[in-house]
Amino acid sequence: MLLSQQLIAASEEASGTDLILPATSELIGGLIAFTIVGLIVWRFALPQIQKALDERQAAIVGKMQDAEQTKQAAEKLKSDYEAQIAGAKSEAAQIVEQARHQAETMKADIVARAQDEAAAIADRAKADIEAQRASVISGMRSEVASLSVDMAQKVVAGTVDRGAQQALVEQYLSELGGVNN
Amino acid sequence: MGELVAFECDTATDVVCQPPTVNELFELPTLFSIGDVEITRQIAYFFLATLVVAAILYFGLRKPKAVPGKFQLIVEELVAFVRDGIAKDIIGPEGTKYVPYLLSIFLFILVGNFFEITPFINYPITSRMAIPALLAIMTYLIFVFMGFRKNGLSYLTGIIWPKSVPVAMRPLVGIIEFFSTFAIRPLTLAVRLFANLVAGHVMLSLLLVTGFTYLFVQPFDFTFNPLWGVLWFLLGIAIFVFEMVVAFLQAYIFTLLSAVYIESSLHPEH
């Protein structure tokens, strides 16, 4: 091939318009290829993503509801426990109060009983003392009378008989007792 | 289809080699024909991109779970990036309606762009004008249609006779705005994506093929030096990383601008 022919051929080929102007077959091919992409995006990808988003939203909402329920249950449990504790506390206070009351009653009983007993003991003692006193006095009285009789016998030996003397002393002593009493 | 012309040169004779054109990098062999329509490898790549997008979405979302796995999370993040970061941020609450379209162009362009640096493909489908042009035309149709549907004829009059500028300026600004909206926008939208990916593909091809040539192919008449090959190759690798950023950025920009154009049609007073 001659050089000039070659150059002409080259310049024709290198015009660049081939590069810039799209070929019809490529336009059609490109249109079909892109349409398929568009359909996949429109009919498959975006609905699937929407589905994922919906699921995610449902999962999050569900979890939040679960958490809310758990929280409510926990709060109920807490208030139950608090009520139980408060009940136990008041019961304990009641028990303590009862015990105190019982103790007070027992104390009062014991004191009263002790006082009664003491009083009884004192009374008994007093009665014993009185009895003893009475017996001592009567003992003494007869002793004194006997002594006086003995004494008077010694003083007026033989003048007065023993029976008369005894009567005389008895009289004297009863007079003396009337004065003492 | 041209063969790799450089290899046809007879270096023994003094014939000037026919230089390969830039088209060499973008024309791939025809795989088969349906009637007169040649199904080239590019077209197969278009459908491969569709397949990749479909696979990503399918495996990411086939069994969506309330507590997502890693892959589902990545796909959800991608969707959220377009839905919240582009559609809702730019267009507002009405933006939700445009999420299917915006997400489709974002994923299609993203995967198409990443083909540039995908081993064994190494060919961005967005470097064929068909794809950027097609998507730009779609964006154009959507924003023009929505502009008229939402605002009636005042959409057009608002552009031609902009009330927000002084009366004396209105004819000039009106003409500029009219051409900007109805002619420049779709063109720039398409060309920006196309040119970026063409440039990236050319750059990568040149660097890596040059590196390969220096390293493994016998030179014509310059001193063979493997060091040059290594340097070219390293530079190619650096650009490779750079192109990853470009691939993402261009998909983002195209989607973002589509949203911006739709928004400006819905609320032309802004």
**CB of B109 closer than 8 Å to CB of B251:** yes
From A22, A25, A37, residue closest to B37, measured CB to CB: A25
Query: Residue B75 has what pLDDT?
Result: 93
Q: Check whether B67 has a pLDDT greater than 60.
A: yes
- What interface predicted TM-score (ipTM) does this complex get? 0.86
Q: Is residue A123 part of a domain?
A: yes
Q: Is residue A173 part of a domain?
A: yes
Helix/strand/coil (H, E, C) string of chain A?
Answer: CCHHHHHHHHHHHCCCHHHHCCCHHHHHHHHHHHHHHHHHHHHHHHHHHHHHHHHHHHHHHHHHHHHHHHHHHHHHHHHHHHHHHHHHHHHHHHHHHHHHHHHHHHHHHHHHHHHHHHHHHHHHHHHHHHHHHHHHHHHHHHHHHHHHHHHHHHHCCCCCCHHHHHHHHHHHHHHHHHHHC
Q: Is residue A13 part of a domain?
A: no
Query: Residue A178 has what pLDDT?
Result: 66
Could you report the per-residue pLDDT of A117-133, keeping only the tens digit for each?
888 888 888 888 888 88
User: Are A19 and B26 in contact (CB < 8 Å)?
Assistant: yes
Residue among B29, B27, B9 nearest B18 (CA): B9
Residues from chain A contacting residue B133 (CB–CB below 8 Å): 22, 27
Q: Check whether A83 has a pLDDT greater than 60.
A: yes
Q: Is residue A154 part of a domain?
A: yes
Q: Does A27 touch chain B (CB under 8 A)?
A: yes
Q: Which helix (H) or strand (E) holds B243?
A: helix B226-266
Q: Is residue A17 part of a domain?
A: no
Q: Check whether A149 has a pLDDT greater than 60.
A: yes
Q: Check whether B181 has a pLDDT greater than 60.
A: yes
Most confident of A5-9, A90-94, B207-211: A90-94
| CA–CA dist A57, A151 (Å, integer) | 135
Q: Check whether B2 has a pLDDT greater than 60.
A: no
Q: Check whether A28 has a pLDDT greater than 80.
A: yes
Q: Check whether B213 has a pLDDT greater than 70.
A: yes
Query: Residue B3 has what pLDDT?
Result: 38
Interface test with chain B among A5, A28, A48, A54, by most B beta carbons within 10 Å: A48
Residue among B135, B142, B131 nearest A25 (CA): B131
Q: Is residue A4 part of a domain?
A: no
User: Please, what sign has the CA dihedral across residues B239, B241, B242, B248?
Assistant: positive
| Domain total of chain A | 1
Q: Which helix (H) or strand (E) holds B38?
A: strand B37-40
Q: Is residue A81 part of a domain?
A: yes
Query: Residue A124 has what pLDDT?
Result: 87
pLDDT band with cut points at 50, 70 and 90 for residue B7: very low
Residue among B112, B15, B94 nearest B56 (CA): B112
User: Are B68 and A37 in contact (CB < 8 Å)?
Assistant: no
| Domain with A62 in it | 22-180
Range with the poorest average pLDDT among A9-18, B162-171, B250-259:
A9-18
pLDDT band with cut points at 50, 70 and 90 for residue B31: confident
Query: Residue A91 has what pLDDT?
Result: 93
Q: Check whether B9 has a pLDDT greater than 90.
A: no
